[in-house]
Chains A and B, each alone.
Chain A
Amino acid sequence: MVLPEFEYLVPTTIEEASNLLVELGSGARVMAGGTDTIPPMKDGALKADYVLSLTRIPGLDYLEYDEKEGLKIGCLTKLFDIQTSPLVHEKNPAVSQAAKYVASTQVRNRGTMVGNICNASPSCDTAPILIACDATIKIHGPEKPREVKAVDFFKGVKRTCLERGEIVTGIVIPPLAENEHSAYIKHSVRRALDLAIVGVAAWVQMDGSVCKDCRIALGAVATTPIRAYEAEKVLIGKALTDELLNEASIIAMRNCHPISDVRASAEYRRDMIRVFVKRSIKKALEGYEEGSI
């Protein structure tokens, strides 16, 4: 296969990168690990005259935890490191799980979580958990930095809220309190090297057996990952019985309108949303056993 010609640029500061993007316009593509850039360029789905690699910018490969802010993930932090980090396992195992669902070990050893979300594929594995956990996306812009909520980051198939010259520098995932739990489940035919038929992430805040608050995010059922707001409403303020979970799952299913494609039909995806909404909430409540990811 032939990779089309392009110019490869290696800015060494984020400002330089941002300025280059402004200057070069729509023909430029930002790349971290390249695992979502090189394949589509090879098969002609993505065209770029310039590829800007962020890999030479220092300080963007970090994975930290702050009691107040939570998990902080840099834009050069590799999915494999997130998957295997004891810190992430301890603080929010569902994030490790989501990272691990992406493609294969080799891809995760180059690809980054930030790259995964910037690619903005509807079936993106790491988006639902970031939305469910109400993560913040940190953006460097030509004028000033800004932050958006994960749920507002995605604007369409392969489209994000990034404006010309803007670069995502990191992700911040708020800490989980004792009574807060999260989970992500991907439904696919294969256990690796596959794309999600559906992916469902859940975050719940409990008061005893009663759900005080919750967020449910769905992947692969719309042009962007989406929140299941109506289903969340059903759960909030009530004890999470099987009946109630079923009810919420059906609402989530009714409110989503997936498409049929080569991987699954719309009707199957809809019913799988029903199945995995309840399973993901149960999984969140049940938690991840040590060593299970």
Chain B
Amino acid sequence: MNRYADKNYFRKPEDYRLVSNKESKYVHIEAYEKVTGRAKYAGDYHAPNMLYGKAKYSAHAHAKILSIDTSKAEALPGVKCILTGKDFGDVRQGGHGKGAGFDRGVSDGDEEVLCKEEVCYYGDLVAAVCATSEAIAKKAVDLIEVEYEPLPAHYNPLDAIKDGAALVRSDLQSNIGNSSFTKGTVKGKDFDEEFASADYVEVGDYTAHKTVHACIEPHACYATYDSIKDQYTIIPSTTSSWNNQYWLSQVFEMDESHFHVIRPFVGGGFGGKSNCAPHYFCACKMAQRTGHPVRFVLTREEEFFTMHGRHPFVMHIETAFKKDGEILAKKARYYLDGGAYGKGMVAPVKLSALWSAFPYKIDCIDFETRRVYTNKAINGAMRGYTACQVQFANEVAMNRTAEALGIDPLDLRRKNALEPDYKSPAGLVVTSCAMKETLDDAQAYMHWPESKNSLKPGEGIGFSSVAFVSGTASPILETPQQIQTNATVRVDFHGVVSVYSNLHDNGQGADTLSVMIVAEELGLDMNDVKLVQTSTFNAGYDSGAYGSRVTFLGGNAVRRAAVETKKKLLEVIAAKWSADPATLDLIDHKVVCRDMGKEDLEMPWREAVFTYMAAKGGDELIGVGSYYHRTNSAQYHGKPSNYAPSYVFSTSACHLDVDMETGNIDIHDFFFAHDCGQALNPKAVEGQLEGSIYSGIGYSIFEEIKERDGKIINPTFRDYRMPTALDMPPIHTKYDYPPDPEGPFGAKECGEGTAAPIGGAVANAITQATGLRISSLPLDPERIWKMLRDQGKIKIYD
């Protein structure tokens, strides 16, 4: 069943029982496990004969490997297996699968599991050990001797792109990969003419820093090997089982049937767990070599330096405005510091270009994005992927323009705001859109502009608006029809429903969503629907939890599976009643009939299912569903295409005080209005918004990866400062906006793009409070203090 499934059978809004239900009928299906400690995460799997894996990392930012001597480590009692690069073939892994981005059929893996001849950053693995205890494994790793010849290294992307710059990796042709460069124009009108006719051109240079996901659960995996079946079973902390399966099959050069990837509880993702970590390959190889289960659990320090983070950005933006505030055209230049490898290099360049157009009506855009390799830790997907950086700059620029043109910042946004059914020259098709309503709500909440007059010195209110995709276009693999998710609903003759969906739950509630959708469509309670712990072998494909795709794309697939189940059942019962099946419905554990004159007919759910199976010769009642949004890369080659099936819109508002002596920021109130269409579950939506604000405040004020000569120098929770409960302000959210026509029950994205407007709101509030001109993130106390000093706002004594 495709996206054009029989919508006649979709549950009608007036009959929703679980959707948007505020009486807690919508239960979190993993609640009990999570509050009792029973939930098992990858690192919780254990067996008495299990071996502990540990990796050895590069000692240089860039070097040639001259030799690796494992003899001392091998001699250590308790060491069971040591792997080096020669234990793996030549296939490189990493990033998305071959369906990645828009250039179909091309694998973008560029990382060796274990480096053979060259290391390109401190997080590169050169060897791995497994032993009978973690202590022995650690000791063995220390005993491995690696001889290096250091090579020149780049730590600054702007240096790495200079003519004649040494290569970051010897396998590269250039420090900008082919697909990590994108350039194009979107022309509704003549670009130069628009700029020439502008009344005001806002020009700005901006930078944004690196942060990391810092999931409280570090990456971990538990692997076993069955020598009879020649089958690997791996339980990894992942948000994309199929990505893991794909890369394992590529690297081991065996087909997918050899790799059973089981999805455990995952302790946070935020974009950090969509890849197959090198350690996971090692665990599989070691399990095969030793016959023992092998477990890797990364330490916090490893998590920092060997896992990817958020791209630092250098941005140049020029925007042409008419004096009434209308945006005429925009020019954007972005340099992304990619680190040593790709990690889905297509996505960040495409996405950052895409955000240039959001959330306003801009008919002329000239963009150029370069993702540059450096000999540093890799950067890739992270909550609000590239939008946190780009939208910070865009939204600061909007406020600067408002100031220059003497227009209220909210009015300027309103004037240009995207609207329902807008089609951009780039091919983006807006469906539902409450952008203006979010501006109105933020304005009302902050009593703007009246409140401006009562602000004390150092006190400020700032706004920021963004748009984001609801469901990223491309699946990670080359799939039929670009399918994103396959789901199956199965009902046994007792009426017990099992749902086989593999929406990747990393805490956002994807499993609960699957169950809720099926229960809603079949008129059952959530407890009547059982989610099968899913794996690559027992449930359909799902691309993974990334790109804000789970609710919209995955949810639609599950809904279609439920609706097919419903339709099949109703058709059989309708035949018995000689009624039109479209007039039957499933309500409260019953089949009911709304056909004229047959309103008294009803049949209990269990009896209906039994009847169905009897009519079908005993076959079980099964429904399948899938969903896709087809798109292509045309818009990046000057032709229109629509990236996502729908888009979301948010406005955030921040009210804060700046300590003019210390640079400390005290946020007293944070408001967030988000158009996520119909909220499926208000509590979950609030949780996503609150979490996004947390993430955005962490990004804007508290968190920063600090590097010296390619090495991360604050790889601990002590010095990588994530906000604590004491650091978070009171949060108020609003999300009641019209349903989306295509989203499942009208729902759209929530929880990723919502991290993007925080930086702009904080920055604009600080500017309002202090008059500071802000061009870079983060806005930690020392940086604010330096700006106050450098911009002559405070006296400095020496």
Binding site for B on A (CB under 8 A): 1-2, 5, 43, 104, 187, 189-195, 197, 250, 253-254, 262-265, 268, 271-272, 274-275
B137: min CB distance to chain A, Å? 9
State the CA gap A192–B796 with chains docked (Å).
29
Which of chain A's residues have a CB closer than 8 A to the CB of B798? Answer: 254
State the CA gap A274–B796 with chains docked (Å).
10
**Among A5, A192, A263, which residue has its beta carbon within 8 angstroms of that of B724?**
A192
Which of chain B's residues have a CB closer than 8 A to the CB of A104? Answer: 724
**Among A2, A191, A195, which residue has its beta carbon within 8 angstroms of that of B718?**
A195
Whether A262 pairs with B724 at a CB distance below 8 angstroms is no
B143: min CB distance to chain A, Å? 14
Jot down 29 A-B pairs with beta carbons below 8 A, ordered by A. Answer: A2-B134, A2-B135, A187-B662, A189-B780, A190-B721, A190-B724, A190-B726, A190-B727, A191-B724, A191-B726, A192-B724, A192-B727, A193-B717, A193-B718, A194-B718, A194-B721, A195-B718, A197-B781, A250-B797, A254-B798, A262-B706, A262-B719, A264-B782, A268-B782, A271-B796, A271-B797, A272-B662, A274-B797, A275-B662
Tell me, yes or no, whether B91 is within 8 Å of chain A by CB: no
Tell me, yes or no, whether B723 is within 8 Å of chain A by CB: yes
Whether A253 pairs with B797 at a CB distance below 8 angstroms is yes
State the CA gap A272–B781 with chains docked (Å).
11
For residue B706, which residue of chain A has the nearest CB? A262
State the CA gap A96–B786 with chains docked (Å).
32
For residue B782, which residue of chain A has the nearest CB? A268
A46: min CB distance to chain B, Å? 15
Tell me, yes or no, whether B203 is within 8 Å of chain A by CB: no
State the CA gap A264–B663 with chains docked (Å).
13
Tell me, yes or no, whether B299 is within 8 Å of chain A by CB: yes
Which of chain A's residues have a CB closer than 8 A to the CB of B782? Answer: 197, 264-265, 268
New A-B contacts (12) at CB < 8 Å, excluding given A190-B724, A191-B726, A271-B796: A1-B299, A2-B134, A190-B702, A190-B723, A191-B724, A192-B726, A193-B717, A262-B713, A262-B714, A265-B782, A268-B782, A272-B662
Q: Which B309-342 residues have C-beta < 8 A from chain A? A: none
Whether A189 pairs with B781 at a CB distance below 8 angstroms is yes
For residue A192, which residue of chain B has the nearest CB? B724
Whether A189 pairs with B721 at a CB distance below 8 angstroms is yes
Tell me, yes or no, whether B138 is within 8 Å of chain A by CB: yes
State the CA gap A193–B717 with chains docked (Å).
8
Whether B138 pairs with A2 at a CB distance below 8 angstroms is yes
State the CA gap A254–B798 with chains docked (Å).
7
Which of chain A's residues have a CB closer than 8 A to the CB of B721? Answer: 189-190, 193-194
Tell me, yes or no, whether B745 is within 8 Å of chain A by CB: no
State the CA gap A104–B138 with chains docked (Å).
29
Tell me, yes or no, whether B202 is within 8 Å of chain A by CB: no
Tell me, yes or no, whether B785 is within 8 Å of chain A by CB: yes
State the CA gap A195–B721 with chains docked (Å).
10
Tell me, yes or no, whether B661 is within 8 Å of chain A by CB: yes
- Residue among B134, B662, B726, B786 with max Cβ neighbours from chain A (10 Å): B662
Which of chain A's residues have a CB closer than 8 A to the CB of B662? Answer: 187, 272, 275
Whether B299 pairs with A193 at a CB distance below 8 angstroms is no
A234: min CB distance to chain B, Å? 14
Which of chain A's residues have a CB closer than 8 A to the CB of B781? Answer: 189, 197
Binding site for A on B (CB under 8 A): 134-135, 138, 299, 301, 661-662, 664, 702, 706, 713-714, 717-719, 721, 723-727, 780-782, 785-786, 796-798
Whether A263 pairs with B719 at a CB distance below 8 angstroms is yes
Looking at chain B's contact residues, the main secondary structure is loop
Which of chain A's residues have a CB closer than 8 A to the CB of B713? Answer: 262
Which of chain B's residues have a CB closer than 8 A to the CB of A254? Answer: 798
For residue B659, which residue of chain A has the nearest CB? A275
Which of chain A's residues have a CB closer than 8 A to the CB of B785? Answer: 268, 271
State the CA gap A172–B718 with chains docked (Å).
31
State the CA gap A104–B781 with chains docked (Å).
21
State the CA gap A275–B299 with chains docked (Å).
39
For residue B52, which residue of chain A has the nearest CB? A2
State the CA gap A250–B781 with chains docked (Å).
20
State the CA gap A123–B797 with chains docked (Å).
24
B591: min CB distance to chain A, Å? 55
State the CA gap A1–B717 with chains docked (Å).
14
State the CA gap A189–B721 with chains docked (Å).
8
Which of chain B's residues have a CB closer than 8 A to the CB of A271? Answer: 785, 796-797
Which of chain A's residues have a CB closer than 8 A to the CB of B702? Answer: 189-190
- Residue among A189, A190, A194, A263 with max Cβ neighbours from chain B (10 Å): A189
B766: min CB distance to chain A, Å? 15
- Residue among A43, A190, A195, A197 with max Cβ neighbours from chain B (10 Å): A190
For residue B717, which residue of chain A has the nearest CB? A193
For residue B724, which residue of chain A has the nearest CB? A192
Which of chain B's residues have a CB closer than 8 A to the CB of A263? Answer: 719
State the CA gap A191–B664 with chains docked (Å).
11
State the CA gap A248–B4 with chains docked (Å).
76
Which of chain B's residues have a CB closer than 8 A to the CB of A253? Answer: 797
For residue B786, which residue of chain A has the nearest CB? A268
Which of chain B's residues have a CB closer than 8 A to the CB of A194? Answer: 718, 721
State the CA gap A194–B720 with chains docked (Å).
10
Whether B661 pairs with A275 at a CB distance below 8 angstroms is yes
For residue B716, which residue of chain A has the nearest CB? A43
State the CA gap A272–B796 with chains docked (Å).
11
- Residue among A1, A192, A253, A271 with max Cβ neighbours from chain B (10 Å): A271
Which of chain A's residues have a CB closer than 8 A to the CB of B664? Answer: 187
Which of chain B's residues have a CB closer than 8 A to the CB of A195? Answer: 718
State the CA gap A272–B661 with chains docked (Å).
8
State the CA gap A165–B607 with chains docked (Å).
83
B303: min CB distance to chain A, Å? 12
B618: min CB distance to chain A, Å? 57
B642: min CB distance to chain A, Å? 42
Which of chain A's residues have a CB closer than 8 A to the CB of B725? Answer: 192
- Residue among B301, B702, B798 with max Cβ neighbours from chain A (10 Å): B798
For residue A191, which residue of chain B has the nearest CB? B726
Which of chain A's residues have a CB closer than 8 A to the CB of B301? Answer: 43
B233: min CB distance to chain A, Å? 27
B216: min CB distance to chain A, Å? 13
- Residue among A5, A191, A197, A250 with max Cβ neighbours from chain B (10 Å): A191
Which of chain B's residues have a CB closer than 8 A to the CB of A275? Answer: 661-662
Q: Which 3 A-B pairs have the closest CB atoms?
A: A191-B726, A192-B724, A2-B138
State the CA gap A43–B785 with chains docked (Å).
33
A18: min CB distance to chain B, Å? 32
Which of chain A's residues have a CB closer than 8 A to the CB of B719? Answer: 262-263
Which of chain B's residues have a CB closer than 8 A to the CB of A187? Answer: 662, 664
State the CA gap A253–B713 with chains docked (Å).
28
B697: min CB distance to chain A, Å? 12
Which of chain A's residues have a CB closer than 8 A to the CB of B723? Answer: 190
